[in-house]
Amino acid sequence: MMVRIPRVLTPDQLAQVRAALDAADWVDGRVTAGHHSARVKDNQQIPEEHPAARRVGELIVAALNRNPLFISAALPQRIFPPLFNRYAGGQAFGNHVDNAIRQNPHVGRIRTDLSATLFLSEPEDYDGGDLVVEDTYGTHGVKLPAGDMILYPASSLHHVTPVTRGARTASFFWMQSLVRDVGQRSLLFEMDQAIQSLGRDFPDHESLPRLTATYHNLLRRWAEP
């Protein structure tokens, strides 16, 4: 299941984020790569503990915790502190799968159920740089406006195509969900969206309480503490 989360950041927040990242120190992106990923990764990143990364990451997490679509799709238990990367001058990231377990002193060890890319550069500012994700429904290229985010299963093969003009800056991170199984999580998301749609169109419909009860009983059955 891939879900686009539009307008995670406001224009004012985007301007604040880009100014902070532009002034930060960037290093070789292979510092956070696993053994295989390091062989196919060519980009720059801001060190995890850099003050700008910490400050901007906290802003992003706070915005996500206020975003109903994100909560519905991810059912987040823990969010890995956002990281930041930049591609320019032909840089790319070859096909890979994200590490199943990530560790950070601020959140401890988490299972990476979901991956997220939050685009921070406008698509017209660079050529290439598509995030290409392979799943059971085919291959999908993603290139979103600044401030929009794509959420997808961390088990998916994915890559970033070479950036041949300009620079592509983004935030990337992972979540451990309350519901580990992607199929169960997808069913809950579709049900929740249908309940919300029914509630908007027919707020007094007699089926709403029953459907809502079914949703929460399924979540109660499938959620992990």
**Positive/negative CA dihedral, 141, 147, 148, 151:** positive
Q: CA 109, CA 102: separation in Å to the nearest integer?
A: 6
Q: Is 98 annotated as a binding residue?
A: yes
Helix (H, G, I), strand (E, B) or coil at 212: helix
Q: CA 155, CA 44: separation in Å to the nearest integer?
A: 23
Element holding 200 (H helix, E strand): helix 182-201
Would you put residue 15 in left (φ > 0), alpha (ψ -120 to 50) or beta?
Answer: alpha
Q: Is 158 annotated as a binding residue?
A: yes
Specify binding-site residues for Fe cation: 96, 98, 158
Specify binding-site residues for 2-oxoglutarate: 168
Specify binding-site residues: 96, 98, 158, 168
